[in-house]
Amino acid sequence: MDLKFREMTVEDLDAVYRINTQSFTTDAWSRNALEREFKLPYSHRIVVEAEGQVVGYAFVWLIKEEAFIMTLAVSPEWRRKGIGRWLLKRIVETFKDKAEVISLDVRKSNIPAIRLYRSMGFEVVKERPKFYSDGENALMMELRLDKMKTDVEDKGKEPEPADRRGQYKEEGEGTREGYREGLR
């Protein structure tokens, strides 16, 4: 499948609005809210095209070193074909040199999205009670790009014996959480 990732234009708004209302219920964005994004200097608006039509989109806010995925969706008839993962990968590539972290909020019941984010290395960092207007909790998830860069730089470098012992100690003695906190 030939996919194209490009900046959204106002001409895309009909398609984006349609996908948005098909994808979300109480938290679907109004047409005004979508249009407002074009006036925000920190808003990055992205669409995915397949066979010449818009099949997915994302709005990402970049504020200081944090990229926040405000909303992201794939058209219902184009789901489960790898487009969501492809879009997310392109977002990570786009922001990896601009941000230290990519974060988002997702409904706790949204298993497809949570699985997608986890498969890309996102981790749950916080639960936000009654975040949505219908009372559902949100999970705040994030992908640390600074950590990814460190991992890439370290790749291929054989750890010193002392470091290896450290790793075993963390896993064996249950201090991994503290170690991860230390990385943040």
Ligand X SMILES: CC(C)(COP(=O)(O)OP(=O)(O)OC[C@H]1O[C@@H](n2cnc3c(N)ncnc32)[C@H](O)[C@@H]1OP(=O)(O)O)[C@@H](O)C(=O)NCCC(=O)NCCS
Enumerate binding residues for ligand X (CB under 6 A): 23, 72-74, 79-85, 104, 106, 110-113, 115-116, 119
Q: Which is nearer to ligand X, 124 or 170 (CB)?
A: 124
Minimum distance from residue 3 beta carbon to ligand X (Å): 11
Q: Which is nearer to ligand X, 79 or 96 (CB)?
A: 79
Q: Which is nearer to ligand X, 46 or 84 (CB)?
A: 84
Minimum distance from residue 70 beta carbon to ligand X (Å): 9
Report d(CA 156, CA 142) in Å as an integer.
Answer: 26
Report d(CA 94, CA 72) in Å as an integer.
Answer: 15
Let me know: does 50 contact 2? Beta carbons within 8 Å. Answer: yes
Let me know: does 172 contact 180? Beta carbons within 8 Å. Answer: no
Minimum distance from residue 10 beta carbon to ligand X (Å): 22
Minimum distance from residue 125 beta carbon to ligand X (Å): 15
Q: Which is nearer to ligand X, 81 or 90 (CB)?
A: 81
Task: Enumerate residues 6+ apart whose C-beta is below 8 A from 10.
Answer: 35, 38
Q: Which is nearer to ligand X, 54 or 113 (CB)?
A: 113
Q: Where are the beta strands (DSSP E) in 32-162?
A: 43-50, 53-63, 66-74, 101-107, 123-128, 138-144
**Residue with the closest Cβ to ligand X?**
84
Minimum distance from residue 78 beta carbon to ligand X (Å): 7
User: How far are the Cα atoms of 36, 43, 87, 95 from residue 40, in angstroms, in the given order?
Assistant: 7, 5, 22, 17
Residue 39 buriedness (CB in 10 A; 0-12 / 13-18 / 19+): exposed
